[in-house]
Chain A
Amino acid sequence: MIDIAFFLVFSAILFGIGMFGLITSKRGVVTLMSIELMLNSANINFVAFSTYTGNADGLVFVIFTIAIAAAEVAVGIALMLNAYKIQKTTDVDKLSTMRW
């Protein structure tokens, strides 16, 4: 059996990449992708711990997370499309009409 540390390190790296993308990128679509990466790194942790402890709760949680992530992406992309229609850009720094 593969040591759990490999799964945790992999998920941590994935989370770090997602976080890096979220902080550095100005592009809206990339931001959404980064969030997706971070969610999935959490999913990997769930699955890993669930398998190692033999408790199915984590697996159930992952199903929910995937479903919600799908919904979130649908909303997010719809937002980006509409933003692009109006502003002709998906640069989040420029979508500042409602900023103080």
Chain B
Amino acid sequence: MSTSGRTSQRTRPRVGPLTATTERAPSLDVDALLDDRGTGIIVCCGSGGVGKTTTSAALALRAAERGRKVVVLTIDPARRLAQSMGIEELDNTPRPVPGVGGPAGGSLDAMMLDMKRTFDEVVLSQATPEKARSILDNPFYIALSSSFSGTQEYMAMEKLGQIHAQAQQDGSYDLIVVDTPPSRSALDFLDAPERLSSFLDGRFIRLLLAPAKGPARLMTAGVGLITNALTKILGAQVLRDMQTFVAAFDTLFGGFRQRAQKTFSLLQADGTAFLVVAAPEPDALREAAYFVERLTEDEMPLAGLVVNRASAPVAVDLSVEEATAAADRLVAIEHDSTTAGLLRLHADRGRIVAREAHLRERWATEHPGVPTTVVAALSTDVHDLDGLRRVGSLLADG
């Protein structure tokens, strides 16, 4: 697109009356991104229900068929996605997707994150067998590793770190595509490593460790007050479980923190590309705006915006008003005129297309220079590799 050079060179957002002019977003060259051997990680993020998982799978497949050795790490337990890649069940180990490859010599593996297993594996690899057992059996650990909604984010980052380290060692993959969890807050996965670190360094942990480590001098008046309050609220048993857990886990914490920070800097590195996925709806675009701002703040490499499920543009120049008026005239002549129905459908589509275009233009004006690709909605669902290929080529053509 001719405007792309100009918009990407501008470093500051435009202010003043000029902002009212319609800003065409530069187009996102998906194939160039996939073909660039420097791209080692692609992270797809966005709010729930915008087609993040399908986008991740379609990108991974397209990259593989263009010669990359790809693994796609998904979080969404959608059986249909697994089936569309010819795998009955995805599990915590990457599985080869049959029927991918061809002349370019690429390959595609897929795996679905099992957060509890990932957590367990970390514990088992870091602690002595007896210690690992006492952690794995602790009620507080069981709750934390299986039901805590933030665990998925920690573990997605952990798994990404693991796969990346392994790929660096044995060259098994040269591209990792990550689908982020459908979080309560779409930014949780970015905050996870940081939050874990600050929690582990926090006074609360030291407080919990204090009684277990014994010395009574640590039991200052303040600490006594706190433990009493906690006992009151949580009950003594919960507090005891937590203390046992934290004490057993203490030695693992260092490793955890280190790896969390390593993953964070991996995400900031040049080889990573973030794609923000949205739908042409106000809420999804608002979430996308948060993401773009947040990624910029954290100096994470943003590659662009994918607008999924866009209505196909209207192919003919007949305005909403003209179509509606003509439909009304026809209904006056013949009550159930099929042609009137066609005209009303055309008007309905015209209104939606105009509304979506308006939302996208506003977004582009507020976030100038973010390369964008628009993917038209399919009228049916994706069932197989061919469906994913179709999405992939729409992504590249958008």
Pair from one complex = no
- List chain B positions with a Cβ less than 8 A from chain A: none
Name A's B-contacting residues (CB within 8 A): none
